[in-house]
Amino acid sequence: MAMKNIRTLREEAEALVRAGVANRDQLVAAVPALVALQKAEEALERRAKETHAVIKALSDACTAYARRHPEHVFDKTFAVSPIGVESGDVEIDGRTYHFAHGFDGYIRTDPGKNMTQEFLQGLPEGWAKSRLEIDKTAIRKADPGDKALAASGLMRKAKDTWSEV
């Protein structure tokens, strides 16, 4: 059996959605299509992550070279803005490519370490925000019933999964 591409799988699933699932025959047609589309999406996500890693590595290599040799790469178009953004244009085979090197937030000086709560608490006053978020573990341990959850404005979020065994 030939493998269907993700577009075909999606189009078939869209047709099944339009038809609806109102009886067992429709369910029997829909579940295999659903699982096949889920598998195709997972494969696509893996391929996208792999592609992103290659894009980053190639971008890093191009950036390193261009920043070491700006006068050779960018000729007279290289400039540094008052806020420190480096930029320039390079023409390759009749097409112009623009490069910009600026800043996008902050990271740890040690690339192997994460922005842990402990690290953030050690930053100077005002450099970190405190953020409230729901503690699912604490709620699970308290084991409130539906009425107690509703009294606090909460309800359990449904999670449905279909998979092939």
Asked whether residue 130 is domain-assigned, the answer is no
The Cα 83–Cα 103 span in angstroms is: 10
Question: 21 lies in which domain range?
Answer: 1-59
Tens of pLDDT along 35-69? 999 999 999 999 999 999 999 999 999 999 999 99
Q: Is residue 29 helix, strand or coil?
A: helix
Tens of pLDDT along 73-103? 998 999 999 999 999 999 999 999 999 999 9
DSSP 38-104: HHHHHHHHHHHHHHHHHHHHHHHHHHHHHHHSHHHHHTT--EE-TTS-EEEEEEETTEEEEEEE---
Claim: this prediction has a pTM higher than 0.75: no
Asked whether residue 24 is domain-assigned, the answer is yes
Asked whether residue 132 is domain-assigned, the answer is no
Asked whether residue 47 is domain-assigned, the answer is yes
Asked whether residue 148 is domain-assigned, the answer is no
Mean pLDDT value of segment 135-141: 95
- Counted domains in the chain: 1
